[in-house]
Amino acid sequence: MNLNQITLPVRDMDEATAFYRQMGFLQIVDTPHYARFECPDGGSTFSLSLAEDDGEFKNGAVIYFEHEKLDELVDSLVAKGFVFEQMPTDMRYLWREAILYDPSGNKIKLYWAGKNRLNPPWRVERNA
């Protein structure tokens, strides 16, 4: 199996699609209630779905985007006006991460893990 995509709920489709296009993603589907983006590297996609706002809108998911030159990417986004909760930081689990939020409050982690993404020192292999 392979992960196809992740879909994030958003409050305002126009604002959300502009945010992700400005981050550098290519929008490949555009409807009033659904949008899909292609990542610049690797061929992965993710989508946005317009959520019914019942006053208690909340999404606990975190979306991760990997980039080998993380610090340069973050610097370029800061120059465009993006605000980060956490600038690139070396984490105890051997990833380097920066954190920001999209206009709907979805948490985004930009990171670089290198070989540790799939092969951390504590890797196990279990199935059935």
- In the block, which residue shows the tokens 């292609």? 38
Main-chain phi, psi angles of 11, to 5 degrees: -90, -35
Quote the domain boundaries for residue 36. Answer: 7-51+61-114
Residues for the chain: how many in total? 128
- Count of structural domains, the chain: 1
pLDDT tens per residue, range 56-113: 667 788 999 999 999 999 999 999 999 999 999 999 999 999 999 999 999 999 999 9
Quick check: is 56 in a domain?
no
Helix (H, G, I), strand (E, B) or coil at 104: coil
Quick check: is 2 in a domain?
no
* DSSP β-bridge partners for residue 50: 10
> Any idea what the CATH number is for the domain that residue 16 is in?
3.10.180.10
What is the pTM assigned to this prediction? 0.89
